[in-house]
Amino acid sequence: MFKFLAVRHAQGTQYIANLRQAQAAGLRGLPTIGAPDCATGCQQCVAVCPSQAISLAPLTIDMGRCVLCGDCAPACPSQTLGFSNDFHMASTERSGLHISAARPHIDPVQVSAALRQRFGRSLKLRSVSAGGCNGCEMEINALGNVNFDLGRYGIDIVASPRHADGLVLSGPISRNMVQALHQCWDAMPNPKLVIAVGACAISGGVFADSDAIDRDFLDRIQPTLYLPGCPTHPLTFISGILDLLGIAT
Amino acid sequence: MTSANASLLLCDLRTLPTLTLTQLSDQCGAQLALGARLITLFGRPLQPAQHPTSAFQVTAVLLVSDGGGHALQVLRAQAQSLEHYPALSATFPCAQSHERELWEQTGLVPDGHPWLKPVRFEGARQQHMHEYPFFVVRGQEVHEVGVGPIHAGVIEPGHFRFMCLGEQVQHLEIQLGYQHRGVEALLLRRPPLALTPLVESVCGDSCVAYAWAYCAAVEALGNRPASLETELTRGIALEMERIAMHLATLGGLAGDVAFLQGASTYGRLRTAIINATQRVCGNRFGRGWLRPGQMLALDTARRVDLIETLTRFRRDWVQVNDLLLHSASVALRFKGTGLVSQTAAQELGLSGPVARASGVESDLRRTLPGRLYSAYPIDTHRMSDGDCWARMHQRMFEVSQSTQWLLGVLGNFSLDLQSPPTPHKPVATTLQANALCVSLIEGTRGPTVHALETDDQGALLHYKIQDPSLPNWFGLAMAMRDNTLSDFPICNKSFDLSYCGNDL
């Protein structure tokens, strides 16, 4: 009994009170793009990017592709590129994930009144890893730990697609998972939505060119929420989903 | 032929004899009979320019006893398309997954293989998962339970089929491949020095072990081996990763027996460790910590931050372990469950903590310590019971030893972890031609193997990755025999193997 109490005492208060305002110390998060001062013909950042996330004229980063590896920043001779600790990277539109010097932030998540009314107090999610590397999956698991405690908002990961309102998709969608993914989606009752977690789910990420992936599923169903990252940081996930449902912190 | 770093082997391929496939099989068998360990076995098509007919180059890597220590040995053979050879697996079950993979990737047939089935359904077999030839147990009261590929928790996909007599499991068959992303082919499409972000994504819970195996290989092929200081900073990353991953497993184990205080405590302890990793390298999983030819400088502030994090961690860690180890409800579920005997573990070629929990001496940090773990040895430990309890306890020991090792090197301020080595040599952009580099890192789950082969121009010809999970999955199947269905979650968690590492 005393051992239980001692462990409980050492645990203290672990939950993060305001998840939107939390600090992700050290996180290599949202890139910063300085005033474009690129030398003519310079392609250094494009060449080192492992997921074709960077395009030039004007210098634009597609956060749906970016894996936040950080390799572009030291490669840039004019020091235009850098990274901030900002984890607010969610968007409801795929096109909203493009950032540039003129548009340094991702388009804010559009709060949906309909979604808020239906799921604002209870949203049940089913996670499907379709070729994920277990990075996003571990971060999705971390959403339920005592620090992030997503359950406090009535948002839970459930065991069966029959109980789920949303499909949390991670991984680039390996061909070998296509059938199971479709079956899971079809087993979910309407109304339902897809949340794309991580660069792999959003764009294929570093696997986009592989012959072993098949992304037809996303041609059929457009995600309601895009959560960039590699893997998606739990704070990116939580702030994005709270914004979508208009939940106050 | 051998590099200074014993956990790495660099060969000039022109000096290696070319065997026939049967000779390779025979020589491997002779070594295995003497107690050698089969590290990896793989094949690739011969370059069409030199061999117009379809033929394959086969490579086997063994860990052999060498005087008092251990050394890596490479055997090479050439084989014609669809050639048959006597299966090693018939005598040495440890070869079963390797021969299956070789067959799946090249079509070379091991005659007499008792379990010749695809390991991941790659190439033309993709999307034919339903054609898996399951073992069938017959009998009036036999029934089957299929689980997956999608599971109840947030976990990677894999299919488990239990053949049961009542509640008792006679056999578990594990079908994997759902995570196959064609990694090995992708690794040949980009410049060989720019592969780290992709390598870190092959098995995203073992980023550091993978990145280190890769970096060491391309650095050796470029004749620019890393300095000891660089290896120290990488070792710090690796042991942080080991602590974090074992904590995730322990939290899962506690949760699976409804010991919620353990689950929540291990969960928040893991948060503290991975957040410290993020403060060093920008990512909670250690992505970005390693790059070929580079050393991540640990300045005093970051170093003190790590020391303080680990010191606080150690206090609470000891306390929660004590609680778990003295809880009757935990002992009742774990003790005697999911037994893998030492003989079975040895014969199946299990590696990493699951082998050590069955009493097998298998830790590269001791057997092939390389420069780093020779200079700064780490205590390794093995249990003997081979049950879920032993696997849990083994992980606890490993976390404690990693913590002690980390506090030792971080607290020794005479070690400079801040300045890049002088004179600084940038990583070579050309790799040694006609070379094979086999690079091994003892990751959380065991030996992570990366084998890189270059052609006569120094271009990357083949990149073979082998996760320790590949042979270990069969250990889980053996652990489930004669247990009940409801023991599966704790057996599975106590192994905590990688799906994506197996599937590539």
Domains of chain A in start order, with CATH, are: 1-249 (3.40.50.12280)
Q: Give the pLDDT of residue B425.
A: 62
Which A residues, 53 through 112, put their C-beta within 8 Å of a C-beta on chain B? 67-71, 83
Three-state DSSP string of B188-217: CCCCCCCCHHHHHCCCCCCHHHHHHHHHHH
Determine contact: A175 vs chain B, CB below 8 A.
yes
Size of interface A-B (CB pairs under 8 A): 196
Q: Which of B63-67, B117-121, B133-137 has the lowest mean pLDDT?
A: B63-67
Please answer yes or no on whether A176 and B129 come within 8 Å at the CB atom.
yes
- pLDDT attached to residue A112: 86
Identity of residue A239: S
B341-350 pLDDT, tens digit each: 999 999 999 9
Nearest to B182 among A179, A212, A231 (CB): A212
- Helix H or strand E segment including A14: none
Kindly report the nearest CA distance between residue A63 and chain B, in angstroms. 15
Contacts of A212 in chain B (CB under 8 A): 122, 126, 180-182, 185
B69 or B41: which leads in pLDDT: B41
Q: Can you give the pLDDT at residue B381?
A: 84
Of the residues A176, A178, A197, the best mutation for testing chain B's interface (the one with the most B CB atoms within 10 Å of its CB) is A176
Per-residue model confidence (pLDDT) at position B449: 97
| Rounded distance between C-alpha atoms, residue B48 and residue B83, angstroms | 18
- Chain A residue numbers with beta carbons less than 8 Å from the beta carbon of B326 are 3
Flag if B122 and A14 touch (Cβ within 8 Å): no
Burial classification of residue B307, based on how many CB atoms lie within 10 Å of its CB (0-12 exposed, 13-18 middle, 19 or more buried): middle
Q: Annotate B92-109 with DSSP letters as a single string.
A: -GGGHHHHHHHHHHH--E
One-letter identity of residue B285: F
CA dihedral of B74, B75, B76, B80, whole degrees rounded to 10? -140
Q: How many CB atoms lie within 10 A of CB B39?
A: 25
- Give the torsion sign (CA, B366, B286, B40, B92): positive
- The distance between the two most distant Cα atoms of chain B, rounded to a whole number of Å, is 74
What's the pLDDT at A35? Answer: 81
A-chain CB neighbours of B287 within 8 Å are: 68-69, 230
Beta-carbon separation of B203 and A133 below 8 A: yes
Q: What is the token pair recorded at B435?
A: 């070379």
Interchain CB distance below 8 Å, A135 and B275: no
User: Which residue(s) pair with B142 in the sheet?
Assistant: B165
**What average pLDDT score do residues B185-209 get?**
95
Residue B486: C-alpha distances to residues B8, B128, B358, B482 (Å): 42, 30, 22, 12
Percentage above 70 pLDDT, chain A: 100
The Cβ of residue B300 has, within 10 Å, a number of other Cβ atoms equal to 10
Lookup: tokens for B336: 């005697």
CB B198 within 8 A of CB A206: yes
Q: Which of B180, B185, B261 sits opposite A176 (nearest CB)?
A: B180
When mean pLDDT is compared across B266-275, B313-322, B373-382, the lowest value belongs to B373-382
B293: three-class secondary structure by DSSP: coil
pLDDT tens per residue across span A205-214: 999 999 999 9
Q: Shortest CB distance from A211 goes to which of B154, B182, B319? A: B182
Task: Please tell me the predicted confidence (pLDDT) of residue B413.
Answer: 87
CB contact under 8 A, B205 and A8: no
* Torsion region of B127: left, alpha or beta (phi above 0 gives left; psi -120 to 50 gives alpha): left
Are the C-beta atoms of residues B44 and B56 closer than 8 Å to each other?
Answer: yes
Name residues whose C-beta falls within 8 Å of residue B365's C-beta, 6 or more positions apart in sequence. Answer: B373, B378, B380, B442
Segments of chain A scoring below 70 in pLDDT: none
Name the band, by pLDDT with cuts 50, 70 and 90, for residue B68. confident
| Alpha-carbon gap: B144 to the closest alpha carbon of chain A (Å) | 20
The minimum CA-CA distance between B2 and chain A, rounded to whole Å, is 32
Burial state string for A93-113 with b = 16 or more CB within 10 A and e = fewer than 16:
ebebbbbeeeeeebeebbebe
- Residue with more model confidence, B421 or B149: B149
Q: Answer yes or no: do A133 and B194 touch at CB < 8 A.
A: no
Identify all chain A residues contacting B153, using CB atoms and an 8 Å cutoff: 141, 157, 159
Of A24, A133, A172, the CB nearest to B204: A133
Which residue carries 């469950």 as its tokens?
B337
pLDDT recorded at residue B3: 43
State pTM to two decimals: 0.96
Q: Does B48 have pLDDT greater than 70?
A: no
Looking at the complex, does the CB of residue A132 fall below 8 Å from at least one CB of chain B? yes
pLDDT at B47 > cutoff 90: no
What six digits make up the tokens of B188?
């040949």
Q: Is the pLDDT of residue B2 over 50?
A: no
Query: In whole numbers, what is the pLDDT of chain B averaged over residues?
Result: 93
| pLDDT the model gives residue B4 | 45
Least confident segment among B1-5, B253-257, B367-371, B477-481: B1-5
- Read off φ and ψ for residue A161, nearest 5 degrees: -60, -25
Residue position matching structure tokens 């379990």: B115
By the CB < 8 Å criterion, does A4 face chain B? yes
